[in-house]
Structure formats: C-alpha cells, structure tokens
Amino acid sequence: MAALSNAQVEQFRRDGYLVVAGLLDPVAHINPLIKEYEGVLDTLANELYAQGKISSTYAELEFGPRLIEIYKESGKVQQQYFDFTLHGANVTEATPFWVGPEVFKMIRNEALLDAVESIIGPEIYSNPVQHVRLKPPEHLTPRDAEGRIQLAQTPPHQDNGVVLPEADGTDMLTVWFPLWDATIENGCLLVWPGSHRRGLLDHCPNFNGLRVPEKNVEGPGLPVPMKAGDVLFLTKLTMHASLSNHSNNIRWSYDLRYNPIGQPTGRGVYPGFVARSHAHPETELRDAAEWRHIWLHTRSRLAAAATEKVFNRWNADSPVCA
Ligand SMILES: O=C(O)CCC(=O)C(=O)O
Ligand SMILES: [Fe+2]
C-alpha cells in the first residue's frame, strides 16, 4: 500500500497541494508508457510524411527532438494526436487521440490509487478531465495565424473553473506528474499555497485556456520542480499554472482526476469509470480494450451530434475580464 500518512493528508488539506516524491517507479510504471508513445509518434511521423507535410520521418532522433522537429516542420502542434480525451469543438470520426493500454494502466496504477484513496476515500471514479501534455520549448514551437505560441505556459487557474457548475460539489482531486523531470527551466508547475481557501475565483477565457485575471492573482506562485516518479496532488480550488519551457527538450506530463463514485465529473459527455471500489469491486473497469472501445464510441457519438460542447461557465465579455 502506498497510502499517504496522516501528516501528508493534513498538509494537503492545509496547503491545498502535496508532492509525494517517488510515488511512481519510473522504470516499472513510466517507461512502458513512454514506449507506447514512441509508437504513437512513429505513426504520426509516417502519416505526415505520407501527406508530404514533413520531408523526413526523423526516425533517427530521440523522442523529444523528433517531436520538436516534426511540429516545427509541419507548423502544427499535434496535441490532440497524443491526448486521451477529446476536445469540445469539432469532433469527427477522424479526430485523433490515443487511448492505449498503458494509458489505462497508468490511470489504474495501484500506487496512485492508494494515495488517491487516502484523500477521497475508497470508492474511486476516474474523472475524464485528463491530459497528456507534450510541451515543446517555446522558442521552437510553431505559432498560430496570430503569431501566438500554439502550446505555451498554462495561465493561473483552478481546475474547478474548467468544469461545469454541476461538479462544484464534487470532491475532484487533480493528480499531476511528469514523465521526465519537470524543472524550472522546462516549465514545471507553479502552485499558490493556501489559494484553495479563497473559494472559486472568476476565470476568463484566454487563447491558451481559462485564467484567473491578473488582478486577482496574489503573489508569484511557488515553482514545484519534480523528478520522474514524483506526484503532485491538488484540490480543485488550488490555483496553479505552469512556467514556460525554455529548455531544449519537451516538458512531458500527465494530469488525471478522480472523484468519489456517484459525484458529477463536470464533463458528463465524456466517459469516466470506476477505478477502484471496495464496496463493489465487480464494478471496476479492468479491461483496457473496453476502455478504448468506450472512448471510440464517445467519439462517434460526438461526431454525429456535431454540436459544440461547452465545458465551462465563463464569458469573455464579463466585466471582470475587461
Ligand atoms: O501541465 C500544465 O502545464 C498544466 C496542468 C494543469 O493545469 C492541470 O493539470 O490541471
Ligand atoms: Fe489545471
């Protein structure tokens, strides 16, 4: 059992965040996931090469430099290609995403769930608000038509702000960890200790996500450099952001969310699942192929509906965003 100590849980409740060093084993837990993404990148490279969008598949390069080169030459950050969720707008049958077996295995990782159980209890639902983030160095990242970096630092926000109000009473826990070391140079997270006591703050739609307006951000935030294997837990009200990636390699991270079974996830159009249940173990989803199937089905359903899904309550025209 990788249960948290009482002191760790108290620290989490007091500060609104907790870093657990070495909770995951980089070799046993993270490397197989990296291997799986190497295959995904290979497929992407071959597709773009076949479409004439890149002049080489860059197969001789390591993962990070290869991704950077492919994004740079194709002029596009292919975040959706790797992510294990869909995006609200414009989902079609062809929208790429990666819902492979190692991803599923990571969401169900025993050590992670033991720690999650210490915070939200033993009936654990995998909330579908989840991402893999592969962030190239900002100076090497292609820009959009307006000259903005396509995938840059994350602005200050609370995760409660990025879900629908139906989840305001949900005990949603954010679990963030790097696949490689996250440093101040490559864009680790920033947290605002104690910010969870301010309640839900106003958020404003911004080109790179929702953000708490600058005037409501108190202080600079605390950088949280982390080694591969370390895991950060955040309450849904803890304000956090990321630094820019100024290194020469990608910053690579996972963010997962969990809540007690039965509580709204705040993104009901996407499928969650029972990750652990002591009361009804037979309801746990244990089959990676089934999980993938559920997501493929969701993609078809959204493609057929062709309506844009709204995931938050904020309006850029509100006075607080002026
Ligand atoms: O990884 C990042 O840059 C931002 C992560 C984040 O906001 C989250 O995990 O909730
Ligand atoms: Fe967040």
Burial of 200 by CB count in 10 Å (0-12 exposed, 13-18 middle, 19+ buried)?
Answer: middle
Q: Which tens digit of pLDDT belongs to each residue from 266-296?
A: 999 999 999 999 999 999 999 999 999 999 9
Q: Which tens digit of pLDDT belongs to each residue from 54-85?
A: 999 999 999 999 999 999 999 999 999 999 99
pLDDT at 306 over 70: no
| Residue 206 or residue 89, greater confidence | 206
Q: 299 CB under 6 A from ligand 1? A: no
Residue-wise burial string across 133-166, b where 16 or more C-beta atoms lie within 10 A, e elsewhere: bbbbbbebbeeeeeeebbbbbbbbbbbbbbbbee
Cα distance between residue 241 and residue 34, in whole Å: 24
Q: Give the three-state DSSP class for 74.
A: helix
- The number of the ligand 1 atom at minimal distance from the alpha carbon of 131 is 9
151 Cβ contact partners less than 8 Å away, ≥ 6 residues apart? 77, 79, 133, 135, 136, 141, 208
CA of 51 from ligand 1 middle (Å) equals: 32
Contact 230, 178 (CB under 8 A): yes
Pocket test for ligand 1, best of 85, 132, 154 (most atoms within 8 A of CB): 154
CA of 158 from ligand 2 middle (Å) equals: 6
pLDDT at 128 over 90: yes
Residue among 40, 156, 99, 81 at smallest CA distance from 270: 99
What's the pLDDT band for 23 if we cut at 50, 70, 90?
A: very high
pLDDT at 88 over 90: no
What is the reported pLDDT for 1? 72
- The number of the ligand 1 atom at minimal distance from the alpha carbon of 253 is 1
- The number of the ligand 1 atom at minimal distance from the alpha carbon of 242 is 3
pTM value? 0.97
Q: 254 CB under 6 A from ligand 1? A: no
CA angle 205, 159, 219 (to 5 degrees): 80
Cα distance between residue 102 and residue 88, in whole Å: 24
List the structure tokens of 255.
């963010």
Q: Which tens digit of pLDDT belongs to each residue from 212-226?
A: 999 999 999 999 999
